Structure 1
Amino acid sequence: MTKITLLPQTPKRRLSWNDPGVRSIIYQVLVLGIVGLGVWYLVSNTLHNLAVRNISTGFGFLHREAGFAIGESVIDYTPADTYGKAIWVGILNTLRVSVVGIIAATLFGTILGIARLSKNWLVARVASAYIEVMRNIPLLLQLFFWYAIITEIMPGPRDALNPVPGVFLSNRGLKLPSLHGDALDWILGGIALAIVVIVLIAHWARKRQEATGQIFPLVRTGVVLLLALPAVAWLISGATLTVELPELKGFNFVGGLNLSPEFAALLAGLVIYTSAFVAEVVRSGIESVNQGQWEAAGAIGLSRPRVLRLVILPQALRVIIPPMTSQYLNLTKNSSLAVAIGYPDIVSVVNTTLNQTGQAIEGILIIMAAYLTVSLSISVFMNWYNKRIALVER
C-alpha cells in the first residue's frame, strides 16, 4: 500500500489590524500617499503662481542664443552659441577642476597621511600642523586667500616667475608649454592603449601572485608602457608634433597652455583643503592594520617602504576607500564655490542664464541634476572598487 504524506497547509493570512504585517503595509501606503499629496501641492501651486505672473516654463530656452561670453572653456564657445552649449561648457569646467583636484588631493593627502606616521619627529609634527590648520579654515576663505595671492601679490607678465624653462607664473595665471599637431591623436591613443594593457597585466599579476606568491613589478612596467607606447605610436604615425612655448607679447603671454588665476586659485584651494581630510583617512587606514603585520614583514627582510607598499596599504585600502569616497564627493560639490572667485563652473553659467531668461526653477533643476549625476557616478565607481578589494570568505 502506498503511503500518502500530506503537506501542512499554510494558514491563510487574515486582514486584521492586530497583524503587524498588515499594519506595516497600511502605514507605508499612508506615508506614500501623504508624500505624493505634498509633491502634487507644491508642483501645482508653483505652476499656478508662474501662470499668474506670466512666467514661461519649460526648457525651450536652451535652444536660444546665449549672448554672453565665458572666460575659459574646454570646448570652443562663442556668445552666438545656445544656452544649452553654454551650460555644457560649465559642466565640463566643473568636471575638469573636479577630476584634477581628486587626483592631486589623493596623491598629496596620501603623502601627508604617511608623513604624519613618520618616525622622524620633525616630519610628523609638520604634517600634523598642516592637517590641523587646513582642516579648520573654511574653504571659502582659502579660495579668497589663494585668489588674492595670485592676482595681487604675483608679479605682472613682464616680471613673471620662471621656475622652469617654458613655465611662467604671474598675476595672469600659469602659462605652460602645449603640444600641437596631427600626432597628438596618436599619442593619446597610445596612452589609452597603455592603460588597457596595464589593467590586463595587473589582473594577470594578481592571479599569478595568488598562485605562486611571486610579485610582478607592476609599477615599473606601467611607467615604461605609459612612456613607450605613446612614443611608438608617434613614430609609427609619422605625423608632426610641435611644442608651443608661451611667449611674452605686449602686456601678456600668447601661445602655450593657459591656466587662469580663477582656475589656479580654485584648484589650489580644493586640493589643499581636501588633502588634509584625505591625510587623516589614510592615517586611520594604516593604523587600523595590526602592528604584527609590520613586524612579520620586517622579519622576512622587507624594508619599511616595501612593507608599507606591499603589505600595509593593500590591507588598509579596505578601511580607506569608504571615507575616501565621501571626500571625493565633497570636493566635487565644494567646487560650486567657484562662483565666489569668478571661475565659470556650472553654477556660475546657470546663474547668468537664469538672470537673462528668468527660468530660475529650470536652472536650479539643471544644477541639481548635474551634481547628482556626477556624484552618483563617483559613488558607483568607488563602491565597485571597494567591492573588488573586499575580503571574500571561503
Structure 2
Amino acid sequence: MNFRALLWQIVVVAIVVGIAAWLWSNTVHNLSVRRISTGFAFLGREAGMPIIDTWLPYSPRDTYLWAFVVGVVNTLRVAVIGVVLATILGTLVGISRLSSNWLLSRLSLVYVEVLRDIPLLLQLLFWYVLMQGLPPARGAWKPINGVFLSNRGLIVPSLPLDGGQAWVIGTALLGLVAFYFLRCDLLARQVRDGHPRRIWPYGILFVIAAPALLSWWLGVAWTPTMPVLRGFNFAGGWTFAPEYFALLIALVTYTSAFIAEIVRSGIQAVPKGQWDAAVALGLRRGFVLRQIVLPQALRVIIPPMTSQYLNLTKNSSLAVAIGYQDIVSVANTTLNQTGQAIESIALIMAVFLTISLGISLFMNWYNAHIALVER
C-alpha cells in the first residue's frame, strides 16, 4: 500500500513538472517568434514615470527598479496602517454589537451590514469622489489648529526625522520590544512562585526614560513643522494625498466590518460561565472583558483575523482605480512602457506573495504563542 501511494505521488509530481516545462517552453517560443526580449535587464533603465505621492525620494530619472521599490513602499503604507486601524475600529464595533445599550448595538449592526454588503470598489470610488468634492486649499476645513482638510488631501503638522530623531525613535522601539519580553518573563515567574512583581517601572525605564535621556544627550529638537498656505497649496507638514486618504478609509471601514463580526463571535464563543463567575467575584465588566474574556477569545479570533489582514493587503491593489501609485500601478505603467508583461506581472505576484507569507508567518507564530498548553 505504501509503494502504491509513493508511485502515485511520483506520477502526480511528474505530470505537474511536465505541464510546467511545456508552458515555459511554449512561452519562450512564442516570445522569440514575436521578437520580444525577456529578462529583468529593463530594471536598470531610466523609468521616466512620475510618482507624486511617496515617502521615498524619487524622480523620473531614477531606474525602474527604484520605481518598483517606491511602489512597494506605497503598498506597505496602505497595508500596515490599514491593518492597525481596521483592527482597532473592528474591535470597537464588535464589542459594541454586544452592548446592552440598544441604540449602540443597533448602530453597530447597521454599520456591519451596510459596509459588508456594498462592494469595496464602489466604496472606494465613493470616498474618492467625496474627497474631490472638498473645498480648495484656500477654503480648507480646519478642524483643529495645524490640521487642514481640502481637495489636496489631509495636511497635518510634521516632526523632523533627521539622524537624531531616528535614533531616539529606534531606541523607543527597542525598549518596547525589551519590555514585552521582560513582561512575559516576569509573568511566568509570578505563575511559578506566586509572588507578584511590578512591571510598570521597567516600561517607564525602557520606553520613556531611555529615549528621553538619549534625546537630551543628542540635543534633538522636537519642534513640529506647521503647514502654511502658500498660493494654491500648502507648504510644510505631512500631506496625505486624496487618493491615499480615500483608499485608506475605504479599506479600513470595509475590513473593520468583517473584523467586527469576528470579534463578536469570538467573545460569544467564551462560555457564559466565565462572565458569571467574574461578576460573582465583584469584578467590573470592563476588567472582565479585557483580562478574562478577550484573552480566551483571541484563540478563536486570530485565525479568521489573519484572513482579513491578507484580504486588506491584496485589496489595496484596487488603488489603480483612483490613481494611487502602488506596486500594481507602477507595474502597469512599466508594462506599457517596456512591453515586459511577464516580468512585470511576476514582480507583482512576488511582492504580494512575500507580504502575504510574512503576515501569515507572524500571525501563525502569535496564534501558537497564545495557544493553551496541555499539561
Please say whether Structure 1 and Structure 2 have the same fold, judged by a TM-score greater than 0.5: yes
Per the alignment, residue 67 of structure 1 pairs with 48
> How far apart in 1 are the matches of 2:213 and 2:54?
31
For residue 137 of structure 2, what is the aligned residue in structure 1? Answer: 157
1:236-251 paired onto structure 2 within 5 Å = 236-251=217-232
1:168 to 2:152 alignment: no
Matches within 5 A, 1:332-347: 332-347=313-328
Between the aligned partners of 2:167 and 2:13, the Cα distance in structure 1 is 55
Q: Post-superposition shift, 1:130?
A: 0.3
Distance 1:216 1:284, change over 3 A: farther
C-alpha RMSD of the superposition: 1.8
Q: Separation in 1 of the partners of 2:128 and 2:202?
A: 40
Bigger shift: 229-238 or 114-123? 229-238
Q: Whole-Å Cα distance in 1 between the matches of residues 60 and 157 of structure 2? A: 28
Alignment of 1:1-394 (within 5 A): 20-152=1-133, 154-180=134-160, 181-211=162-192, 222=203, 226-394=207-375
- Of 336-345 and 22-31, more deviation after overlay is shown by 22-31
Aligned partners of 1:129 and 1:29: how far apart in 2?
Answer: 53
Q: Which moved more, 1:227-236 or 1:169-178?
A: 227-236
- Cα offset, 1:220, TM superposition: 9.9
Counterpart of 2:370 in structure 1: which amino acid? I
Q: Give the whole-Å Cα distance in 1 for the aligned partners of 2:262 and 2:201.
A: 27
Partners in 2 of 1:61 and 1:340 — Cα distance? 26
Answer whether contact 1:266 1:335 (CA < 8 A) is retained.
yes
Aligned equivalents of 1:223 and 1:142: distance in 2?
A: 42
CA–CA separation in structure 2 for the residues paired with 1:390 and 1:220: 28
Following the alignment from structure 2 to structure 1, what is the Cα–Cα distance between the partners of residues 297 and 242? Answer: 37
Report the Cα distance in structure 2 between the residues aligned to 1:362 and 1:281, rounded to whole angstroms: 38
Question: Which amino acid in 2 is paired with 1:168?
Answer: F
Looking at structure 1, the residues matched to 60 and 326 of structure 2 have their Cα atoms a distance apart, in angstroms, of 16
Percent of paired sites with the same residue: 55
Residue 159 (structure 1) shift: 1.0
CA distance in 1, matches of 2:37, 2:111: 51
Deviations 1:213-245 (A, max 9, x none): 677786897589645543332122113333111
Report the residue type matching 1:74 in the other structure: W
For residues 225 and 7 of structure 2, what CA distance do their matches in structure 1 show?
70
Structure 2-normalised TM-score?
A: 0.95
**Partner AA of 2:240 in structure 1:** L
Question: Structure 1 CA distance, aligned partners of 2:291 and 2:2?
Answer: 52
Q: Is the 8 A contact 1:182 1:239 kept in 2?
A: no
Q: 1:249 to 1:220 in 2, by over 3 A?
A: farther
Give, as a single letter, the amino acid of the residue that structure 2 aligns with 1:373: T
Secondary structure at the counterpart of residue 245 of structure 1:
coil
| Residue identity opposite 1:271 in structure 2 | V
SS at match of 1:365: helix
1:99-152 CA distance string (max 9 Å, x none): 000000000000000000001111111001100110111110000000011112
Where does structure 1 lack aligned partners over 5 or more consecutive residues?
1-19
CA distance in 1, matches of 2:260, 2:204: 25
What is the rounded CA distance, in whole Å, between the counterparts of 1:89 and 1:112 in structure 2? 34
Deviations 1:165-215 (A, max 9, x none): 111010100001111255312331232233123213321342144235677
- Deviation, 1:161, is 0.9
SS in 2 for 1:179: coil
Q: Secondary structure at the match of 1:194?
A: helix
Amino acid corresponding to residue 88 of structure 1 in structure 2: V
Contact 1:134–1:273 (Cα < 8 Å) also in 2 = yes
Aligned-partner SS, 2:143:
strand
SS of the equivalent of 1:243 reads: coil
Question: C-alpha displacement at 1:21, in angstroms?
Answer: 2.1
Distance 1:46 1:135, change over 3 A: same
The code of the aligned residue for 2:12 comes to V
Q: Any idea what SS the aligned residue of 1:390 has?
A: coil
